[in-house]
């Protein structure tokens, strides 16, 4: 069975700093997908970034980028030039290719951006 | 804008009194999901629909039922809510492209309180 581990329950950084959220996972699959979702307080869960395991190139979306290390089964999220609006719960999630659409979720990291 | 809409945002019901939560989508996605999310935890999948095919998670209590009368709407029925069912309920959708890791799109959620 697949598992996803987020080892940092809570982090806080100053506005404009760079922060990295860690995520590791366990699987025997070779092809799969990885996701980072953001859930601001009392607001909608939204997709931040998606990575295809068969692509070696790390996914990037504006200030958000990942460091995908397939051999190490690591999928960390880097947020550059952090903004107050980045304050949220961040969830890492795993999807098998033949998962029947199911996501395996990490426990989440609460990120607080301080002014 | 295409979206996933959940009504109501907040729902209060009495212990044991049936309650229905609703979800609609304008994305025309084949797959719809219901999640239960308790405070600061990852979402827990209750069930999902692939078109009209219903897929129940093995550990979803019988107290929870769902209906999907058409592509756009999906309902979560809690037949006899207990105090432990107080939570945020999230509806999500995704496109039908098996094996391509389609991301899920979430509504704002309904926060259910039990008196």
Mean per-residue pLDDT for B40-60? 92
Distance from CA of A115 to the nearest CA of B (A): 23
Mean per-residue pLDDT for B4-15? 95
Residue A20: CB atoms within 10 Å: 15
Q: Are A65 and A51 in contact (CB under 8 A)?
A: no
Interface touch B103/A44, C-beta < 8 Å: no
CA pseudo-torsion sign A4, A88, B95, A52: negative
The minimal CB distance from A45 to the residues B31, B48, B90 is found for B90
Mean per-residue pLDDT for B1-17? 92
Q: Tell me: the pLDDT tens digits for A7-46?
A: 999 999 999 999 999 999 999 999 899 999 999 998 899 9
CA pseudo-torsion sign B49, A88, A16, A72: negative
Distance in angstroms (rounded) separating the CA atoms of residues A107 and A99: 20
What's the pLDDT at B96? Answer: 75
Interface touch B45/A103, C-beta < 8 Å: yes
Q: Chains A and B: how many Cβ contacts under 8 Å?
A: 51
Mean per-residue pLDDT for B73-85? 96
What's the pLDDT at A56? Answer: 84
Residue of B nearest to A111 (CA): B40
Confidence band for B60, pLDDT divided at 50, 70 and 90: very high
What's the pLDDT at A115? Answer: 95
CA pseudo-torsion sign A89, A94, A101, A32: positive
Pseudo-torsion of CA B93, B57, A49, A27, nearest 10°? -150
- pLDDT at B98 exceeding the cut of 80: no
Contacts of A71 (CB under 8 A, 6+ apart): none
Distance in angstroms (rounded) separating the CA atoms of residues B112 and A42: 13
From chain B, pick out residues whose CB is under 8 angstroms from the CB of A106.
Answer: 42
- pLDDT at B7 exceeding the cut of 80: yes
């Amino acid at each position: 069975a697949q598992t996803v581990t987020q080892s940092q329950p809570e982090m806080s950084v100053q506005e404009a700093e760079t922060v990295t959220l860690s995520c590791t996972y366990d699987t025997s699959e070779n092809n799969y997908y990885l996701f980072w979702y953001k859930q601001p307080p009392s607001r909608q869960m939204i997709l931040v970034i998606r990575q295809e395991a068969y692509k070696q190139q790390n996914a990037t979306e504006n200030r958000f980028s990942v460091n995908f290390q397939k051999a190490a089964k690591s999928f960390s999220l880097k947020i550059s030039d952090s903004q107050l609006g980045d304050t949220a719960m961040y969830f890492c999630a795993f999807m098998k290719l033949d998962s029947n659409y199911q996501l395996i979720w990490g426990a989440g990291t609460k990120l607080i951006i301080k002014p | 804008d295409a979206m996933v809409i959940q009504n109501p945002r907040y729902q209060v019901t009495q212990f044991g009194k049936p309650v229905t939560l609703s979800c609609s989508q304008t994305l025309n996605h084949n797959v719809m999901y219901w999640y239960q999310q308790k405070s600061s935890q990852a979402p827990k999948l209750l069930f999902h629909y692939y078109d009209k095919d219903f897929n129940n998670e093995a550990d979803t209590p019988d107290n929870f039922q769902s209906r999907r009368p058409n592509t756009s709407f999906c309902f979560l029925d809690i037949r006899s809510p207990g105090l432990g069912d107080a939570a945020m309920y999230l509806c999500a959708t995704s496109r039908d492209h098996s094996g391509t890791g389609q991301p899920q799109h979430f509504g704002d959620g309904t926060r259910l309180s039990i008196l």
